[in-house]
Amino acid sequence: MRINIRSKWEIEAIRRSCIIVKDVLNLLYELLQPGVKTKELDSKAEEYIMRSGGKPAFKGYKGFPATICVSINNELVHGIPDSRRVINEGDLVSIDVGVEMGGYYGDAAVTYAVGEVGDNIVKLMRAGQKSLMKAIENAKVGGCLYDISASIEEIAKSEGYSVAIEYTGHGIGTALHEPPSVPNYGVRGTGPKLKKGMVLAIEPMIIDGSNNLVVANDGWTVYTEDGSMCVHYEHTVAITEEGADILTDGIIWH
């Protein structure tokens, strides 16, 4: 497995795409309220990306029909925006955004609660956020890839949650998905050595129940078989001598 090592110039090119990703997510956060249709969010995202000089990285990728993924409640990832799908008070909404600009890609995701939600949902969200930041702390020169993975699994399990097995983070750069896969589980001290210049999209997917997953009839939307709620958080990070540089930094969480 060959993992790309990016130059300082390339990392800055990836960062430019990541800044658009961050801006789109923050725009959608402001628009996210009961009554909004998921297709409206998709249209606003595409409009902003194009106006910023980028291209939607997801649209057309392996046939995916939209600019963003919007996954609600027990949908884990890859939800397709729809003009008939309305977001309601109390929904848990995961939004995933990818952008390509100048041949380089950025990717990030965040899960938002719409309106008032129970303490159990807040706890699940906090676990997702914590697992991502702990994973990023482990993305450092001299470490091993599965140190990142193990840190996600450790936090999830300590809170009583499970992690997605079939879906993973990934390398990113001149393609949306590059080697290596970055699982949400693993054994510390194993996997490829982490080196300066590696760029990874790290994305914990945490589930409040069984991690048995089902793909919907649309061929894309992934949801929990037992109806468990789930969260998805993602940052694109570059590994430097000083630690992980979060290229999608600045995304609003709550």
Q: What is the pLDDT of residues 23-81, one digit of tens each?
A: 999 999 999 999 999 999 999 999 999 999 999 999 999 999 999 999 999 999 999 99
Q: Taking a C-beta distance cutoff of 8 angstroms, is the pair 224, 167 a contact?
A: no
Supply the pLDDT for residue 254. Answer: 78
Supply the pLDDT for residue 226. Answer: 98
Residue 121 belongs to what H/E stretch? helix 119-137
Q: Tell me which residue has tokens 């706890």.
A: 123
pLDDT of 177 strictly over 90 = yes
Q: What is the pLDDT of residues 2-14, one digit of tens each?
A: 999 999 999 999 9
Structure tokens that stand for 54 in this block: 């980028």
pLDDT of 1 strictly over 90 = no
Q: What is the pLDDT of residues 139-173, one digit of tens each?
A: 999 999 999 999 999 999 999 999 999 999 999 99
Amino acid identity, position 131: S
Q: What is the pLDDT of residues 208-245, one digit of tens each?
A: 999 999 999 999 999 999 999 999 999 999 999 999 99
- The CATH label, of 3.40.50.1860, 1.20.1560.10, 3.40.50.970, 3.90.230.10, for the domain at 8-246 is 3.90.230.10
Would you tell me the crossing angle of helices 145-158 and 119-137 to the nearest 10 degrees? 160
Domain map of the chain by residue range?
8-246
SS3 65: coil
| pTM of the predicted model as reported, rounded to 2 decimal places | 0.97
Query: What is the overall mean pLDDT for the chain?
Result: 97
Of residues 13, 109, 111, the one with CA closest to residue 54: 13
